[in-house]
Amino acid sequence: MTNRASKVTTKTFLQFKARGEKLALLTAYDWLTARLLDDCGIDGILVGDSANMVFYGQPTTLSISMDQLIYHTRAVAQAAKRALVIGDMPFMSYQVDAQEALRNAGRFLKEGGAEAVKVEGGKEIVPTVERLVGTGIPVMGHIGLVPQSVHRFGGYGIRGKSKEEADYLWESAILLQDAGCFSLVLEKIPADLAQRISKELRIPTIGIGAGPHCDGQILVVQDMLGLFEEFKPKFVRHYAKLAPQVKEAFHRYIDDVKGGNFPSPEESY
């Protein structure tokens, strides 16, 4: 079993895989959430571009900027003593060319305090991954449903069901590993395809909607806490249903203030 006190690094990720031990990751965008996660022994914290939807209330992940994600990464990195902190590279921060990708990835480490970055895409982004890894920046890949390509695919449907798509994902997984990725997110693909990819790779696969055979799992923290109420994908498990509890607390506070029941003499100086 893992020593819960020791710092998780990209090397630790590979050791987990070699031992057959699962990796548990969640997202965070703020210091307090990251601190709670780190206290509980989470292995990795992704400062995901999902922040654009669940923090900023935007309809997609596309419009979040480098500056916004670096701001959130700095807050998370400040709290995470054990967990590996991964900064999610926003749409158009790495797609133009490898040079610009390198400059932006470097900002995540230098300004944000991240220890790795994540990029979406298959075999077409191999040259970029090679450039980042070759410069000493660890890269987590992300294939399957890639939310930054929502308009290309016309939605957030499952990927990898046709033979053509499954072949593309299989080939991409191997090429991304060979390019130097230390782990690979598999999002919303059939469980048997994720199992075959996970068996084939030396690096750990991190599933989200990719079944139980991945080497680790990740969820968006506001989803698993039942805080985000706009929609619930099938792959999300609610470990708490906080939205109704939080609303109940807000209602009680409002009633107490309006009814003159807060603060009490004990809560006053």
Asked if residue 48 binds ligand KIV (CB under 6 A), the reply is yes
Compute φ and ψ for 234, nearest 5 degrees.
-55, -35
Pick between residue 193 and residue 220 the one whose CB is nearest to ligand KIV. 220
Residues 6+ apart with CB under 8 A from 226: 238, 239, 240, 241, 242, 243
In the list 185, 197, 203, 210, the residue contacting ligand KIV (rule: CB under 6 A) is: 185
> How far are the Cα atoms of 133, 167, 241, 248 from residue 123, in angstroms, in the given order?
15, 11, 39, 48
**Contact code string over 147-176 relative to ligand KIV, x by CB under 6 A:** ------------------------------
Choices 29-37, 45-53, 151-159, 240-248; region in contact with ligand KIV by CB under 6 A? 45-53
Choices 47-55, 106-114, 122-130, 176-184; region in contact with ligand KIV by CB under 6 A? 47-55
Asked if residue 46 binds ligand KIV (CB under 6 A), the reply is yes
**190 cis-preceded (ω within 30 degrees of 0):** no
Asked if residue 50 binds ligand KIV (CB under 6 A), the reply is yes
Asked if residue 49 binds ligand KIV (CB under 6 A), the reply is yes
Asked if residue 27 binds ligand KIV (CB under 6 A), the reply is yes
Write down the least CB distance from residue 38 to ligand KIV, Å.
Answer: 17
Write down the least CB distance from residue 221 to ligand KIV, Å.
Answer: 9
Residue of minimal CB distance from ligand KIV? 48
For residue 258, the SS3 value is: helix
21 as an active site residue: the answer is no
CB 101, CB 132: distance < 8 Å: yes
**Contact code string over 74-113 relative to ligand KIV, x by CB under 6 A:** --------------x-------------------------
For residue 162, the SS3 value is: coil
CB 25, CB 206: distance < 8 Å: yes
Which of 187, 229, 248, 266 is labelled catalytic? 187
What is the C-alpha separation between 252 and 32, in angstroms, rounded?
24
CB 114, CB 77: distance < 8 Å: yes
What is the C-alpha separation between 202 and 245, in angstroms, rounded?
43
Pick between residue 43 and residue 49 the one whose CB is nearest to ligand KIV. 49
> How far are the Cα atoms of 120, 194, 253, 259 from residue 266, in angstroms, in the given order?
54, 57, 16, 17
Asked if residue 141 binds ligand KIV (CB under 6 A), the reply is no
Task: Give the catalytic positions in this structure.
Answer: 187
- Interface residues with ligand KIV (CB under 6 A) are 27, 46, 48-50, 88, 185, 208, 218, 220
